[in-house]
A = this chain, B = another copy of it.
């Protein structure tokens, strides 16, 4: 059920996205191109307390979890360990939903390996734990909550690098995942170039609108001139 690991990411582009774009502008660009369901659900919030460094831009490495209700003593974590060890620079771990909400599938030790391997962030559509230590590491994680329990006997990674749904968005391995304080957006590979071009274009228009509003123009005048809100 596993597809080949996607090619290593282009780290320069990721850095430029982080430095110059913001997520809301990318959402508007996706809207314009007709991709209107690419922003993850707002239950996913950043853990890191500094609003300016809580996010990331990277490429999706997906983990497919299954809820379980019993222990598998000789192999409680399935392919999770193998998947974490396979992380590379620029990767973003995307955990498929643990709907049972009884599980905290991401913690300190995983964050330590991920960061050491160059992964840039994690989205966990369930709970996480060891939060103080993850904050200490400075590794950006988004989650749907915090709960102190281990995944053993609650969930198990059954596959990785397969398409998954996370925060109600379908994510393919290798998709560009961009997160800041406003949330998380997923840019499908096929339209990545077009979306980024439109987003860079859009932030220029928003800057012009901002200046005009600060100069005392009405919203009506500014919208009629620049066409963005």
Contacts and interface: CB of A to CB of B under 8 A. Distances in A.
Interface of A: 1, 23-24, 26-28, 31, 36, 39, 41-43, 45, 51-52, 64, 66-70, 72, 77, 80-82, 84-85, 96-97, 99-101, 107-110, 112-113, 116, 127, 129-132, 135, 145-153, 158, 162-165, 170, 180-183, 185, 206, 209-210, 213-214, 216, 218-220, 222-223, 228-229
B69 A170 contact: yes
A64 B147 CA distance: 24
Contacts of A113: 213, 218-219
Contact of A220 (B1, B24, B85, B152): B85
A209 B109 contact: yes
Contacts of A147: 39, 41-42, 182-183
Copies in the complex: 6
B112 A148 contact: no
Contacts of A43: 145
Given A107-B229, A109-B210, A112-B213, A69 B164 contact: yes
A163 B70 contact: yes
Contacts of A81: 219-220, 223, 229
B149 A27 contact: yes
Nearest to A54: B132
A142 B53 CA distance: 23
Given A113-B213, A220-B81, A69 B163 contact: yes
B97 A67 contact: yes
